[in-house]
Amino acid sequence: MNRLIDSVKKAFKSLLNSVPVLVGVILLVSLVSSIIPKSLYTSLFTGNIILDPFIGAIIGSILAGNPITSYILGGEFLLQGISMLAITSFLVSWVTVGLVQMPAESMLLGKKFAVTRNITAFFFAIIVAVLTVIGVNLL
């Protein structure tokens, strides 16, 4: 029973120590999301079917967002004429890859895990985008 109590105390202490970093990451994500105008995104995509998913994944990886606002952003991108492949790649990486959150993730889960997870998520964002667009076009 003492080991359980000690473990809970250590976990709670670790959580308290990570709160400042987590709050800083949340504030930074909010700041970046509000500073960068949506029109900037549209100027970055070329219309190239090969290049756009990579551009989308890179931009989405640098910026971070939440799934709720991705529906609105995706709709705005469609209205601007951006391809579904680029939008899907951007949104998947925007939600799953997070270079902005990397310091907090590294601190909480380890640097090797954070780097591996982000690199894997980056490439899977592109793969998911391609498979999603192919799947939707087949229906």
Torsion of CA 70, 60, 39, 35, to 10 degrees: 90
What was the pLDDT predicted at 138?
53
pTM: 0.71
pLDDT of residue 122: 95
- Secondary structure class of 50 (helix, strand, coil): coil
Q: Give the pLDDT means over successive 10-residue stretches in the chain (139 positions).
A: 86 82 72 72 82 91 77 80 91 88 86 94 94 80
One DSSP character per residue, 54-94 reads: HHHHHHHHHS---HHHHHHHHHHHHHTT--HHHHHHHHHHH
- Would you state the pLDDT for residue 49? 87
